C-alpha cells in the first residue's frame, strides 16, 4: 500500500523507456507490461502529515487514473490461525478473525461514510484500569518466568503495536 504517485511514476517511466521501439506504447498503461500489485485494502490508510480525509483517500491507488485499468482478484481461502491449545482456543481465534474481517468489509456498524461505532467483543478488551500493560503481558505471556526458556512458548505469542514508541 503505497502512495499512488509511486505507481504513476512507474507508469510514466515504463512508457518512456518502452516507447523507443513503438510510439503507440505511450497510450498503454505501464508501456504494455503486465504489473501485478498485491495488498490488503483493509490495512491502515496512508499517513499524509496535516492532510484531510480527502487528501488521504486521494493518495490511494484506487484514486489514480491507473485504477480503471486494474483488475482486482480476491483470495478465497482464509488462513486459519492455530494457538495449539485445543478447539475452544481455536474457536475464539476464528471468532475474532471473522469479527475483524466483518469490520473491514463494512458488515458491522450499519451504513456509514467511513466513521461508525462498532461494539467490541468483551473477551478481547483489557479491563484492568490499574495496570493495563501488566494485564496485557500476563494475558499474552502467562507463566512467563516458568516458560521463558521454551522456544515454542514465544513462537505462539506476540503483541502487535502500531508505533515503535508504544513498544
Q: What is the pLDDT of residues 135-159, one digit of tens each?
A: 888 888 888 888 888 888 888 787 7
- 8-state DSSP, 125: -
- State which H helix or E strand residue 104 sits in: helix 87-104
Asked if 35 and 52 touch (Cβ cutoff 8 Å), the reply is no
Q: Which long-range contacts (CB under 8 A, 24 or more apart) does 98-105 make?
A: 101/42, 104/42, 105/42
Name the CA radius of gyration of the chain, rounded. Answer: 22
How far is residue 57's CA from residue 61's CA, in Å, rounded to a whole number? 9
What pLDDT does 80 receive?
55
| CB of 31 closer than 8 Å to CB of 22 | no
- Cell numbers 517511466 correspond to 13
Q: What is the pLDDT of residue 133?
A: 84
Task: List the chain residues with pLDDT less than 50.
Answer: none
What phi and psi values does residue 127 have, to the nearest 5 degrees? -100, 20
User: The C-alpha cell of 122 is what?
Assistant: 468483551
> Full-prediction pTM beyond 0.95?
no
C-alpha grid cell for residue 144? 512467563
**pLDDT for residue 10:** 94
- Helix %, strand %, coil % for the chain, to 5? 45, 0, 55
Task: Work out the widest C-alpha separation in the chain, in whole angstroms.
Answer: 70
| Distance separating alpha carbons of residues 105 and 74, to the nearest angstrom | 13
Amino acid at each position: 500500500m503505497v502512495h499512488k504517485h509511486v505507481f504513476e511514476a512507474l507508469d510514466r517511466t515504463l512508457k518512456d523507456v518502452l516507447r523507443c521501439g513503438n510510439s503507440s506504447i505511450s497510450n498503454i498503461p505501464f508501456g504494455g507490461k503486465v504489473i501485478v500489485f498485491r495488498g490488503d485494502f483493509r490495512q491502515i490508510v496512508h499517513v499524509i502529515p496535516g492532510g484531510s480525509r480527502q487528501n488521504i483517500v486521494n493518495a490511494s491507488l484506487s484514486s489514480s487514473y491507473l485504477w480503471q485499468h486494474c483488475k482486482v482478484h480476491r483470495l478465497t481461502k482464509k488462513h486459519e490461525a492455530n494457538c495449539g491449545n485445543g478447539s475452544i482456543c481455536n474457536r475464539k481465534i476464528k471468532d475474532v478473525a471473522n469479527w475483524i474481517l466483518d469490520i473491514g468489509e463494512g458488515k458491522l456498524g450499519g451504513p456509514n461514510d467511513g466513521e461508525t461505532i462498532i461494539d467490541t467483543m468483551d473477551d478481547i478488551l483489557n479491563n484492568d484500569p490499574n495496570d493495563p500493560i501488566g494485564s496485557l503481558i500476563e494475558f499474552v505471556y502467562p507463566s512467563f518466568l516458568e516458560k521463558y526458556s521454551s522456544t515454542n512458548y514465544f513462537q505462539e505469542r506476540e503483541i502487535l503495536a502500531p508505533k515503535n514508541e508504544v513498544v
